[in-house]
Structure 1
Amino acid sequence: MEIESAHSSRPMAKVAAEEMESEIERLLPGRHSDVGGIEQEMPRRFALSHDFAEVGGKSHFRVEARDGEMENWSRLVHCLYWSHFLSRWGDRMWEFAVGLFMIQVWPNSLLLVAIYGLVETASVATLGVLVGNLVDKCPRLRMVQFSLGIQNGSVVAAGLAVVMLLLHPWATPGGFSVFVMLVVIVNVFGAISALAGMAMDVVVERDWVVLIAEKQAPGSLTKINSVMRRIDLSCKLLAPIVVGFMMSSVSVLASPVLIAVWNIISVGIEYWLLHHVYVSMPALQQKSTAHQAYQASSQFAESNAEEVELSVFERDNMSQMEGHEEVSLLKNTGQQTTSRQSTFLNKLKKLPVIEGWVTYMHQEAVLAGLALAVLYFTVLSFGSLMSAFLSWRGIPPYVLGLARGVAAMMGILATFIFPIVHARLQTVRTGNWSIWIQWSLLSVCVVSVWIHNSKVASLLLISGVAASRLGLWLFDLSVTQLMQESVPVAERGVVGGVQRSLQSLMDMLTYAVGMVIVRPQDFGITICMSYGAVLTSALLYSMHVYRVRGHLFHFDRLLRPRWIHNT
Structure 2
Amino acid sequence: MECQNLSVCGGKFSKPNSPLGIAQCIAAIILSPSVGAWVDYTPSRLRALKVTILVQRLAVLAACACWAVLLWSKDDGASASKLAKWGVLSVIVLLGSVERLAAGGNIAVMERDWVPTLAPAVGDSSLHILNAMMRRIDLICKVLAPGFVTLLPTGFAAVPATAPRSMFWTVAVIAAMSLLSPWVEWISAHRVWSNSEVLQAPKIVERRNTRDEANTPSRTDLSQLLRRKFSGLVRFCQSAVFLPTIAISLMYLSVLTFSSPMITFLLNSGFSLPVVTIARFFSSALEVSATAVMPWGVKTLRNRPVKHWRRIHESEEQISFLEGSDDEVLPEPMNIDKAEVERVGLWAVWWMTLTLMPAVYGVAGLTASPDSHEPNRSGLSLPNPVFSIPLLLGVAFSRIGLWTFDLAYSQLQQTLPPPELRGEFTGIEQSFLSVAELLQWMLTAIMSRPRDFSVLADVSWVAVLGAAGCYAWFIRKRRGHLLHVKISACFEKLVL
- Cα deviations by residue, 1:204-243 (Å, 9 ceiling, x for unpaired): 0011000010243232111110001101110111111111
Matched, 1:189 2:102: no
In 2, are the aligned partners of 1:129 and 1:352 still within 8 Å (CA)? no
Which residue is 1:281 aligned to? Answer: 196
From 229, 235, 254, the equivalent of 2:169 is 254
For residue 345 of structure 2, what is the aligned residue in structure 1? 431
CA distance in 1, matches of 2:214, 2:184: 50
Equivalent residue, structure 2, for 1:378: 254
Residues 1:389 and 1:304: Cα distance change in structure 2 (over 3 Å): closer
Residue identity over aligned pairs, in percent, reads 28
In the superposition, relative to structure 1, how do residues 403 and 489 fare at CA in structure 2: closer, same or farther (>3 Å)?
A: same
Sort the Cα spacing of 1:248 and 1:428 in 2 relative to 1 into closer, same or farther, 3 A.
same
Question: Do structure 1's residue 158 and structure 2's residue 88 form an aligned pair?
Answer: no
Match in the other structure for 1:175 = 81
Q: Distance in 1 between matches of 2:36 and 2:399?
A: 28
Q: Distance in 2 between matches of 1:350 and 1:513?
A: 29
Structure 1: distance between partners of 2:409 and 2:464: 15
2:416 paired residue among 464, 475, 486: 486
Q: Give yes or no for contact 2:61–2:175 (8 Å, CA) kept in 1.
A: yes
Structure 1 residue 121: deviation in Å?
A: 2.0
Deviation per CA, 1:21-68, whole angstroms, max 9, x where unpaired?
xxxxxxxxxxxxxxxxxxxxxxxxxxxxxxxxxxxxxxxxxxxxxxxx
Which residue pairs with 1:68 in the alignment?
A: none
- Residue 409 of structure 1, aligned match among 276, 285, 307: 285
Deviation at 1:176, TM superposition (A): 0.6
Q: Which of 382, 387, 393 pairs up with 2:263?
A: 387
The one-character-per-residue Cα deviations of 1:356-414 (angstroms, maximum 9, x if unpaired) are 21221122222112211111111111111111111222322232222221111111111
1:467 aligns with 2:397: yes
Tell me the distance in 2 between the aligned counterparts of 1:275 and 1:441: 43
Return the offset for 1:169: 4.6
Structure 1 residue identity aligned to 2:488? R
Aligned equivalents of 1:561, 1:253: Cα separation in 2? 73
Q: Which amino acid aligns with 1:465?
A: V
AA matched with 1:358: V
In the alignment, structure 1 residue 207 sits paired with structure 2 residue 129? no
Write the distance in 2 (CA, Å) between the matches of 1:526 and 1:412.
26
Structure 1 residues 398 and 356: alpha-carbon distance in aligned structure 2, compared to 1, 3 A threshold: farther
511 and 111 in structure 1: CA distance in 2 versus 1, 3 angstrom threshold:
closer
CA contact (8 A) 1:133 1:497 kept: yes
- 1:500 Cα deviation from its structure 2 partner: 0.8
Displacement of 1:421 after TM fit?
0.6
Q: Could you say what secondary structure the match of 1:252 adopts?
A: helix
Letter in 2 for 1:200: N
Question: Which of 230, 240, 243 is equivalent to 1:354?
Answer: 230
* Counterparts of 1:114 and 1:181, CA distance in 2: 14
Question: Structure 2 length as normaliser, TM-score?
Answer: 0.79
**SS of residue in 2 equivalent to 1:518:** coil
Contact 1:367/1:544 (8 A) holds in 2:
yes
RMSD over aligned Cα atoms: 2.9
Task: Name the CA shift for 1:364/1:176 in 2 (closer, same or farther; >3 Å).
Answer: same
Shift of residue 349, structure 1, vs aligned partner: 8.4
Q: How does 1:220-369 map to 2 (within 5 A)?
A: 220-250=126-156, 251-288=166-203, 290-291=204-205, 294-295=206-207, 298=208, 302-303=210-211, 351-369=227-245
The CA distance in 2 between the partners of 1:474 and 1:278, in whole Å, is: 29
1:398 is matched by which residue type in structure 2? P
Partner of 2:479: 549
Displacement, 1:350?
A: 6.8
Q: Which has the higher contact order (CA 8 A, sep 6+)?
A: 2
**CA distance, structure 2, for counterparts of residue 476 and residue 537 of structure 1:** 12
Shift of 1:562: 11
1:560 paired residue number: 488
1:136 aligns with 2:40: yes
Instruction: Work out the number of aligned pairs and report it.
Output: 418
Q: Which amino acid in structure 1 is aligned with residue 39 of structure 2? A: V
Q: Secondary structure at the match of 1:494?
A: helix
Query: For residues 112 and 249 of structure 1, do their structure 2 counterparts lie closer, same or farther at Cα, with a shift above 3 Å needed?
Result: farther
| CA 1:564–1:362: 2 relative to 1, 3 Å | closer
Q: 1:466 to 1:110 in 2, by over 3 A?
A: closer
Measure, in 2, the Cα distance between the counterparts of 1:448 and 1:210.
42
Q: How far apart, CA to CA, are the structure 2 residues paired with 1:186 and 1:350?
A: 28
Q: Give the alignment partner of residue 118 of structure 1, picking from 22, 30, 48.
A: 22
Q: Is the 8 A contact 1:170 1:178 kept in 2?
A: no
Closer, same or farther in 2 for the Cα pair 1:111/1:519, shift >3 Å?
A: closer
Cα 1:540–1:169 change in 2 (3 A) is farther
Q: Which residue of 2 aligns with 1:321?
A: none
1:467 maps to amino acid = F
State the one-letter code of the partner of 2:352: Q
Q: Is the 8 A contact 2:245 2:432 kept in 1?
A: no
Matched letter for residue 167 of structure 1: W
- Contact map agreement 2:15 2:448 (CA 8 A) in 1: no
Residues 15 and 441, structure 2, Cα contact 8 Å, conserved in 1 = no
CA distance in 2 between counterparts of 1:430 and 1:242 reads 34
**So what's the TM-score if we normalise by structure 1?**
0.69
AA aligned opposite 2:28: V
Distance 1:157 1:304, change over 3 A: closer
CA deviation after TM superposition for structure 1 residue 305, in Å: 13
- Cα deviation for residue 424 of structure 1 reads 2.7
Instruction: State the partner residue of 2:318.
Output: none
How far did 1:417 drift? 1.6
Query: 1:520 aligns to what?
Result: 450
Separation (CA, whole Å) in 1 of partners of 2:89 and 2:269: 32
Question: What is the distance in 2 between the residues matched to 1:116 and 1:476?
Answer: 26
SS at match of 1:239: helix
Aligned partners of 1:446 and 1:528 also within 8 Å:
yes
How many angstroms does 1:255 deviate by?
Answer: 1.0
- CA displacement at 1:352 relative to structure 2: 3.6
CA contact (8 A) 1:371 1:536 kept: yes
1:348: Cα distance to partner?
A: 5.5
* TM-superposition CA deviations, 1:172-204 (whole Å, max 9, x none): 323211110111121111111111011001100
What residue is the counterpart of 2:159 in the other structure? Answer: none
Question: Which structure has the larger Rg?
Answer: 1
C-alpha distance in structure 1 between counterparts of 2:60 and 2:456, whole Å: 33
In structure 2, the gaps of 5 or more residues are 157-165, 216-222, 302-339, 373-382
Q: What aligned pairs does 1:39-188 form with structure 2 within 5 A after superposition? A: 113-138=17-42, 139-170=44-75, 172-173=77-78, 174-188=80-94
Is the CA contact (8 Å cut-off) linking 2:240 and 2:416 kept in structure 1?
A: yes
